[in-house]
């Protein structure tokens, strides 16, 4: 038999929680058949059987286990001894997209004071539809992860539903119709795309809280995010530098690109311009594209820019790889492709991994500035505020209209010092204020 261990489904994953088994203990499974739904620090993922055989479940639903711990066995019979663990888990990804250059830090010369979606993959032809019997005679119910969570939240019995998905798979709309509620709308922009999210938070079963306070338990994903943010604040000596960017030329360039693209063309957003400017600046400032780890600097060979996307109760950061060598059109198309992958439940661990820098934009919410928390182990994260109209004086002293944007760079002081951060942020500002290089 072959041991199935807790897979490493993201570059930062240390442990995972088994949400549900999609096959029963003792079932015969096919190679590549979906076995289990696992919650990680970034997403809910389904994991497939590495080979055909009889399934023997070791870890029950709800258990949280470290990466590499056995969760099941599959082989000729449930009682046979386990074989050696399988090879590397599919989906592991190098944290920086290539071997990093390791350099020893020099003393400072100066100092400054983070899927579940409706369109989860359809079951394979060997999987029974809803209502069929598995090998043990138990009724199998196949549903998308979001449908399962919605059913649990509203007390809907999945086995009583007729699924409208492939081979009878129960979908979110099926549960919503049975519960008599409106199905949650699909997100329409990259800023509002819901990532593979954590299970719906539930009211704690403990006694009633005083003064009508509602107590909610954190989902596993929320616990991981909270822990990582706390660790970042406690262990990373961070500081911020901030600047104002005149966005008039960049907005004019975007208008020209929009006119050139015509109907149906992919038009770069303001965030796409910022991603491109950041990527070019990162190429010229390798420390900003690095990490501090074990008393050394790791300088990554690729410039992979992550885009922080807020959801109702989680944060997901898809990565645009090699952003420094992509055209603006390629960056815009990739950002939309990744957003679509998240919406359709097709996002993969490599698409959430490998980031060397992060852009966090709250401008679409009208926020004028943001001081983001570093996405460890990256050296820095860029916070982007809204573009706002102001009155200013030009070089001749005349009062003119200006479109200003506030950029805030949060830095790890162990690898970036005040002058380094200022020069890097100034390079981003220069590229946005003279944006023709972004279009090359």
| Active-site residue list | 413
DSSP 3-state of 282? helix
Q: How many helices (H) and strands (E) does the chain have?
A: 7, 20
What's the rounded Cα separation, in Å, for the pair 251 and 375?
29
Helix 270-284 with 418-433: angle, nearest 10 deg: 130
Compute the C-alpha angle 210/215/220, nearest 5°.
160
Q: Which CA distances in Å does 347 have to 110, 170, 356?
A: 43, 20, 19
Helix 328-343 with 270-284: angle, nearest 10 deg: 120
Nearest residue to 303 (alpha-carbon basis) of 362, 363, 380 = 380
What's the rounded Cα separation, in Å, for the pair 304 and 320?
6
What's the rounded Cα separation, in Å, for the pair 118 and 194?
10
Tokens of residue 348, six digits: 């993969």
What is the full DSSP assignment across 104-118?
PPPPPSS-------T
What's the rounded Cα separation, in Å, for the pair 264 and 364?
23
């Amino acid at each position: 038999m072959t041991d199935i261990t807790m897979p490493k489904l993201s570059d930062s994953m240390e442990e995972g929680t088994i949400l549900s088994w999609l096959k029963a203990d003792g079932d015969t499974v096919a190679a590549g058949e979906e076995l289990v739904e696992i919650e990680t620090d970034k997403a809910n993922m389904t994991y497939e059987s590495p080979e055909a055989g009889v399934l023997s479940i070791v870890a029950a639903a709800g258990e949280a286990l470290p990466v590499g711990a056995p969760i099941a066995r599959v082989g000729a019979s449930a009682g046979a001894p386990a074989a050696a663990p399988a090879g590397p888990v599919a989906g592991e990804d190098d944290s920086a997209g290539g071997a990093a250059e390791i350099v020893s830090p020099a003393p400072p010369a100066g100092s400054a004071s983070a899927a579940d979606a409706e369109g989860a993959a359809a079951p394979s032809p060997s999987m029974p539809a809803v209502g069929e019997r598995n090998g043990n005679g138990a009724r199998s119910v196949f549903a998308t992860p979001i449908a399962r969570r919605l059913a649990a939240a509203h007390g809907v019995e999945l086995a009583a539903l007729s699924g409208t998905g492939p081979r009878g798979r129960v979908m979110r709309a099926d549960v919503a119709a049975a519960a008599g509620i409106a199905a949650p709308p699909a997100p329409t922009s990259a800023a509002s795309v819901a990532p593979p999210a954590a299970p719906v938070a539930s009211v704690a079963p403990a006694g009633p809280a005083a003064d009508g306070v509602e107590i909610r338990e954190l989902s596993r994903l929320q616990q991981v995010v909270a822990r990582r943010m706390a660790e970042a604040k406690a262990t990373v000596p961070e500081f911020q530098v901030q600047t104002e960017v005149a966005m008039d030329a960049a907005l004019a360039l975007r208008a020209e690109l929009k006119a050139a693209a015509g109907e149906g063309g992919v038009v770069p957003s303001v965030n796409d311009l910022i991603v491109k400017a950041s990527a070019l600046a990162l190429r010229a400032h390798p420390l900003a594209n690095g990490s501090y780890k074990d008393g050394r600097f790791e300088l990554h060979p690729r410039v992979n820019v992550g885009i922080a996307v807020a959801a109702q109760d989680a944060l997901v950061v898809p990565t645009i790889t090699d952003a420094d060598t992509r055209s603006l059109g390629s960056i815009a198309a990739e950002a939309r492709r990744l957003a679509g992958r998240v919406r359709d439940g097709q996002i993969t661990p490599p698409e959430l991994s490998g980031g060397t820098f992060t852009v966090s934009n709250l401008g679409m919410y009208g926020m004028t500035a943001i001081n983001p928390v570093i996405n460890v182990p990256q050296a820095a994260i860029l916070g982007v505020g809204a573009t706002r109209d102001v009155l200013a004086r030009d070089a001749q002293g005349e009062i003119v209209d200006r479109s200003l944007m506030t950029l805030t760079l949060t830095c790890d002081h162990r690898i970036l010092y005040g002058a380094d951060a200022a020069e890097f942020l100034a390079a981003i500002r220069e590229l946005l204020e003279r944006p023709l290089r972004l279009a090359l």
